[in-house]
Amino acid sequence: MHSRPPGKIGQPVIRVDQLGIAYETRQGLVHAVREVSFEIHRGETLGLVGESGCGKSTVAYGLVNYLGRNGRIVRGEIQFQGQSLVGRSEEELRRLRGDQISMVFQDPMTSLNPVMPVGEQMAEVLTVHRAMPKDEARTRCLEMLRRVYMPDPAKVLERYPHQISGGQQQRVVIAMALLNNPALLVMDEPTTALDVTVEAAVLDLIADLRRDFDTAILFISHNLGVIARVSNRVGVMYAGELVELAAVDELFADPRHPYTQGLLRCLPRLGRSKASSLLHPIRGRVPAPDRLPPGCVFEPRCDYARQACRAERPALRALRPGHHTRCLFSDEIDAAAWAPPADEGRPAVADSRPAAAGGDPPAPILNVAGLKTYYRHPSASPLGVLGLGQTDYVKAVDNVSFAVPKGRTLGIVGESGCGKSTLIKTLIGLESPSGGRADFIGFDINRRVSQRDLAIIRELQMVFQNPDATMNPSYTVGQQIERPLRRFKIVPPAQVHAEVVRLLRAVKLDEHYYDRFPRQLSGGEKQRIGIARAFAGRPDLVLCDEPVSALDVSVQAAVLNLLMEIQREQNTTMLFISHDLSVVRFLSDDVAVMYLGQIVEIGPAEAIYAPPYHPYTESLLAAVPIPDPTVEQEPIRLEGSVPSPLHPPSGCRFHTRCPRRNLLPAGGQICETTEPPWQEAGGGHRLYCHIPLETLRGLAPVVKAQA
Amino acid sequence: MLVKDYMTRHPILIEPRKHVTDAQRVMTEAGIRHLPVVGDGKRLLGLVTRQRLAIQPHQLASLDVWEITRYLADLTVADVMVKGPDLHTISPDATLEEAADVMIRHKISGLPVVEAPGNIVVGILTETDLLIELQDLLGAVDAGWRVVMRVPDRPGEFRKLVRAIGDKGWGIMAMGSVRTPKDPKHWDLILKVRWCGREELLDVLRGIPDQEIVDLRETRPPAAGPAAG
Amino acid sequence: MPPSSPATVLPARPARPPLAQRLRAGLDVLLRSRVALVGAALVLFWVLVAAFADDCLIQPACWTGSPDYTPTPWLARYPFDKGVGPILGAPSAEHWLGTDRNGRDLWARLAYGARIILTLAPLSVGVAVLLGGALGLMAGYFGGVVDELISRLLDTVIAFPQIILYLIIIAALGPSAANVVLAITIAGAPGIARLVRSLTLDIKTRDYVAAAQTRGESPWYIMAVEILPNASGPIIIDAMLRVGYAVFAIGTLGFLGLGLPPPSPDWGSIVNLGRRFIAAGHPWDALWASLATASLVIGLNLMADGLSEETQRYR
């Protein structure tokens, strides 16, 4: 690497000045983006972060004029390589896009043609655009795939997009975007759909490519952790405006806009737990672009709002060179001196496991031993049609055992396809178990929900992931919360309404919500109703299937606080599954890590997040994006993709990807042949690994916070 | 030390159909002296330089006022750009010395960097880039001691010097050697030494037989690059 | 809402959402689409014509058949089954659309015919929706063997061309209003069942259905309360199109002489009887009845098109 720092020499690749984008709707012009200004130099990444609906994607689409029929740039200027992009003809922009600007979207399949082999699609970029001979183009594509660290690139060229994994698809898209050596790369949530370990590898790749190709990158994400990892500078967007723009270290160390400060306070940090810290959601919600407050857009939600904030809309101003905010009082407000407002509900500060400190933990309420859920998979042989061939099974959950004491929370983490969802669906009876035992308050629940007693059904409820699907759009909020009350006869019919109102209050919604339809609610509100519905029957055990993963961070914090509060009040036991290690760490007393249908590590939360780790847990922790650029993580990356659960690897299922195998004699041959033993690390912490505990204990912690 | 490490990537480009005044404006606003002219797929067609934009008096001498206006109005980038045999380029995999050689031989101040198949522009290399390389080569980016030693033209002198410094555990950030100007019997060696004090360094250097200290001074890193935002 | 509100009176089912609100929303969508508006106007025209085929809506005397009943001069001046004018008369001020070979007023016959068609077509589609919807829901929700059985059965019915199916059923059971309804139900139900099945397959993966399952609700409750209301939009639009086809089918059956027996003023049979006189310089019977059928079908189609477009735009 040579010595010139990025972004120092010459003109910016792109300069956006006072950009305003509006959409035409039935209600008139809606200004989705207002007064956005920034510039990106060669070899620099500008991260654009904000919650959903804040206009960050609109900015990206505005740059390449993908605004659709009803969107247009109403103000401002975009200078790309010294030339204005505003008011250019469709044809000129198209050529420019092909040559100098590339885009990478969240879903790689939107950029890939499903009926064309990967190699052909990539080569097309070169043969059509540059009239390059076919052989030459192929060599180029191969080289580029190698450049993006694609395993076995020659084979990938022959494959169709659906035959490669999601992470590999995204690599192909990035490789394609780079084939033309673009000056500007616009990436809109490129890793959001990927698992955390794959995401980490793709982010590494993006950082490498920026350096080697000197490309200017506009990187859009809702995830502050991802932004902290890839960006040089960060712009924070709120309600269509850029509210803060600063170098990445400065933004995270010393945020000056109240919104940025609020966002950082909502995030559960890795290593923090509900006992040690609080989450502070930002009150209120993002205003709709057609109903903006007259003054500062953030004023209604701001803890520092004064009269002046209501009177005038602040402009983006420089606090010091390179640090801009759109707040009148940025110089005065101090994030460190912030105290939560008095009316904020007290989250579960108290340790929720009083018995754990001394004496024995309470008796387990849920006991699972050797649970198996297999799906029948039609075999490939023609005999399968006749039902004669050998039936294959997808071992979604294979031999899982754990126990949950009353009143505690067991968090289950793992990447997609690890079986965590199937596990809780089996427990609640939506899937039929194939073997093993599951006892819930002394009753056998190893059967489908339709064969269970109503009394058991009532004690076992679930909170779902997708806020848009969790409520039936045909009924009002009140009707949907009433249903479990009536069905389980929780209160006499005359008191149902009062009880619904009480539940609404419990989830911090007022009575007016009773008659609202789901389409009138925001995602966070829907999720609250989902929680109210699940807790309506006062169940003993609530299973939460990623209840906050679809929510924005500020809403997520409020919902997490709510879950903890209700849990504490009702002394409910919870199973909480999530792919987000920070959230699980924050909420759970115990954590189980799943890989390919099996639990590989289980124990008290603080034990899981410190050595000794299972090698898989270790790589998850190394990959998790942390919203703090000063934190250093060991560069441990998993290779390959998760093997098919149809034919899981022999011995230890993780052996095909394990980065720590070579700690064992003979390169870990034993891992391929023998199932690992459960090793007790003390305090209920168990590891499913061949590597001796002493060796694992000796490994350095993966996450190092700087003093 | 290859062209691709020092060139400016993603140079500003222009299309041949564009008007000369557009080129002028782009060059002034961006503060650049070379503007590669490209066709579809960034294929190099020519190069516009500042001199090329200056109108030669003899071209206008025979025209009246109206004709001059029209002449200027019709002038496109394709009309004024350097093209054909006058257009010199360099490959990204060439060495900087090769690039310098081309530039010196043809007395030009910048070279478009093109990739072989299709003449695709991938960057531009100008005198400034070469000067940056010189700066890097002489180790000017970090603080240290700049030493110039004059040594006789015979084998082993270089080793003596390096060993003397190396034995002390000091670092050599950069070094170069040139035949002493006007004295073919000697070489001037330039070194950038760090992690040591002036006196101890002087002691060591004085202790080397047959070598003469020409110059010793402290250097600091240059001020941050131009136009830091 | 006070605790005694309707929502708390029904113990098992959640109360319907406010009907007025729903109607207004539906009307809004209709008014927003110009296509749907044109369609609605056409359909509304025929509904009005059918309603005022006789005076009974405005003159109670018509019901009782009392002697002091005199027809209103503008509306229903003539009965449909008695000759009141010249044989094969051309349109005139007296008989707007002319008269047929029996001297019967064509306007009166069309108006009474509209009554028949506007009763039979929605009725038959309604029965088909009930039957097909139930089958589709079960096939989609239960899946597996139930799905296989129902789907194969429906495929068998679909394999027959519709018109042949009509002919077989009517030929076997004899022409009558009930049999026409039966024929259209049997021919139409499989298509509806398929639609409902695919909608059910989609909706049953939603979390709210899983939530109902985790409450231990019965499959019937889930199908009727959780799934059906969310499938109703596409079903209604499909039904509207099907009413159009049913109008056509009833016309066809009438034309083939398999519709309602005479003197019923079925549009199809008017065309059939009138076509013999086209060459004789009296095209009016066939022309008016054909136009009537066409305009009603087009109206229904436009309405369905416009509605589906609007609802999809806002999904």
A462 strand-pairing partners: A543
Q: Supply the pLDDT for residue C107.
A: 83
Provide the pLDDT confidence category of residue C14 given band limits of 50, 70 and 90. very low
What rounded mean pLDDT belongs to chain A?
Answer: 85
pLDDT over 90 at A423, yes or no: yes
How far from each other are the two terminal CA atoms of chain A, in whole angstroms? 28
pLDDT over 50 at C64, yes or no: yes
Which residue, C130, C135, C131, C142, is CA-closest to C213?
Answer: C142
- Lookup: tokens for A500: 């619904």
Do the interacting molecules here have an ipTM over 0.85?
no
Of the spans C31-35, C126-130, C306-310, which averages the highest pLDDT? C126-130
Which residue, A325, A71, A109, A61, is CA-closest to A218?
Answer: A61
Extended strands (E) in A81-228: 83-84, 101-104, 184-188, 216-221
Q: Supply the pLDDT for residue A3.
A: 41
Give the Cα separation of A655 and A672 in Å (integer).
Answer: 6
Pairing of the two strands A541-545 and A573-578: parallel
Share of chain A above pLDDT 70, in %: 93
pLDDT tens sequence across C98-115: 787 777 888 888 888 888
pLDDT tens sequence across A635-671: 888 877 778 888 888 889 999 888 888 888 888 888 8
Provide the pLDDT confidence category of residue A387 given band limits of 50, 70 and 90. low
Q: Supply the pLDDT for residue B176.
A: 83
- Lookup: tokens for B224: 């941050």
List strands edge to edge, sheet with A443-444.
A392-405, A364-377, A435-440, A443-444
State mean pLDDT over C242-250.
Answer: 90
CB-based contact A512:A561 (threshold 8 Å): no
Query: Hey, which chains touch B, using 3+ CB pairs under 8 Å?
Result: A
8 Å CB contact of A479 and C7: yes
pLDDT over 60 at A434, yes or no: yes
Residue C165's SS3 state is: helix
8 Å CB contact of B41 and A129: yes
Q: Supply the pLDDT for residue A344.
A: 54
Provide the pLDDT confidence category of residue A356 given band limits of 50, 70 and 90. very low
Q: Supply the pLDDT for residue A411.
A: 94
Q: Supply the pLDDT for residue C189.
A: 93
Amino acid found at C153 = L
Which residues in chain A have their CB less than 8 angstroms from residue B30's CB?
A: 10-11, 81-82
Give the Cα separation of B205 and A27 in Å (integer).
Answer: 82
Q: Which of A81, A100, A132 is best to mutate for the B interface (most B CBs within 10 A)?
A: A81
Q: What DSSP character marks residue B19?
A: B
Closest chain A residue by Cα to residue B28: A82
pLDDT over 60 at A351, yes or no: no
Q: Supply the pLDDT for residue A371.
A: 92
pLDDT over 70 at A380, yes or no: no
Which residues in chain C have their CB less than 8 angstroms from residue A469's CB?
A: 206-208
State mean pLDDT over A397-419.
Answer: 90
3-class SS letters over C195-235? HHHHHHHHHCCCHHHHHHHHCCCCHHHHHHHHHHHHHHHHH
Q: Supply the pLDDT for residue A383.
A: 57
Q: Which of C4, C5, C8, C218 is best to mutate for the A interface (most A CBs within 10 A)?
A: C8
Provide the pLDDT confidence category of residue C225 given band limits of 50, 70 and 90. very high
Provide the pLDDT confidence category of residue C61 given band limits of 50, 70 and 90. low
pLDDT over 90 at C50, yes or no: no
What are the helix and strand counts (H, E) for chain B? 10, 9
Closest chain A residue by Cα to residue C210: A430
Residues written for chain C: 315
Closest chain A residue by Cα to residue B121: A181
Q: Supply the pLDDT for residue A353.
A: 45
Q: Supply the pLDDT for residue A341.
A: 64
Name B163's Cβ contacts closer than 8 Å, sequence gap at least 6: none
Provide the pLDDT confidence category of residue A193 given band limits of 50, 70 and 90. confident
C254 strand-pairing partners: none
Q: What DSSP character marks residue C223?
A: I
- Which residue matches tokens 């911090």? A508
Query: Hey, which chains touch C, using 3+ CB pairs under 8 Å?
Result: A
Give the Cα separation of A330 and A256 in Å (integer).
Answer: 5
Which residues in chain C have their CB less than 8 angstroms from residue A462's CB?
A: 210-211, 214
Give the Cα separation of B48 and A62 in Å (integer).
Answer: 31
Which residues in chain C have their CB less than 8 angstroms from residue A480's CB?
A: 14, 208
Q: What is the maximal distance between C-alpha atoms in chain A? A: 80
Other beta carbons within 10 Å of A655: 20
Q: Supply the pLDDT for residue A598.
A: 92
Pairing of the two strands B144-152 and B212-219: antiparallel
Higher pLDDT, A65 or A31: A31
Share of chain B above pLDDT 90, in %: 15
At A682, phi and psi to the nearest 5?
95, 145
Taking the CA of residue B2 and the nearest CA in chain A, the distance in Å comes to 11
User: What element of type H or E holds A145?
Assistant: helix A134-147
Amino acid found at C271 = V
Q: What DSSP character marks residue C276?
A: G
Provide the pLDDT confidence category of residue C175 given band limits of 50, 70 and 90. confident
Give the Cα separation of C301 and A334 in Å (integer).
Answer: 65
CB-based contact A561:A344 (threshold 8 Å): no
In the predicted model, residues of chain B with pLDDT beneath 70 are 55-57, 59-60, 139-141, 221-229
User: What element of type H or E holds C42?
Assistant: helix C34-51
Residue A223's SS3 state is: coil
Which residues in chain A have their CB less than 8 angstroms from residue C214's CB?
A: 428-430, 449, 457, 460-462
Using CB atoms within 10 Å of the CB of residue B200, give its burial: 0 to 12 exposed, 13 to 18 middle, 19+ buried: exposed
Give the Cα separation of A138 and A157 in Å (integer).
Answer: 9
At B111, phi and psi to the nearest 5?
-130, 125
pLDDT over 50 at A19, yes or no: yes
Q: Supply the pLDDT for residue C275.
A: 84
Q: Write b or e for each residue in A593-627: b if 16 or more Cβ atoms lie within 10 A of its Cβ, otherwise e.
A: bbbbbbbbbbbbbbbbbebbbbbbbbbbbbbbbbb
At C158, phi and psi to the nearest 5?
-65, -25
Which residue, B10, C83, B222, is CA-closest to A43?
Answer: B10
Q: Which of A483, A502, A529, A540 is best to mutate for the C interface (most C CBs within 10 A)?
A: A483
Q: Which pTM does this prediction carry? A: 0.82
pLDDT tens sequence across A136-161: 889 889 988 888 888 888 888 999 99
What rounded mean pLDDT belongs to chain C?
Answer: 82
- Which residue matches tokens 């690059």? B225
Nearest Cβ partner of B10 from A42, A129, A132?
A42
Provide the pLDDT confidence category of residue A231 given band limits of 50, 70 and 90. very high
State mean pLDDT over A587-610.
Answer: 91
State yes or no: cis peptide before C263, omega within 30 of 0: yes
B221/A contact by beta carbon, under 8 A: no
Residue C230's SS3 state is: helix
Which residues in chain B have their CB less than 8 angstroms from residue A8's CB?
A: 224-225, 227-229
8 Å CB contact of A464 and C226: no
pLDDT tens sequence across B114-168: 987 778 898 999 998 888 888 877 766 678 888 899 998 888 888 888 888 888 8
8 Å CB contact of B10 and A322: no
Q: What DSSP character marks residue C225?
A: I
pLDDT over 80 at C19, yes or no: no
Residues written for chain B: 229
Provide the pLDDT confidence category of residue C62 given band limits of 50, 70 and 90. low
Q: Supply the pLDDT for residue B226.
A: 42
CB-based contact A478:A515 (threshold 8 Å): yes
Give the Cα separation of A692 and A70 in Å (integer).
Answer: 63
Q: Write b or e for each residue in A189-217: b if 16 or more Cβ atoms lie within 10 A of its Cβ, otherwise e.
A: bbbebbbbbbbbbbbbbbeebbeebbbbb
Which residue, A586, A195, A253, is CA-closest to A414?
Answer: A195
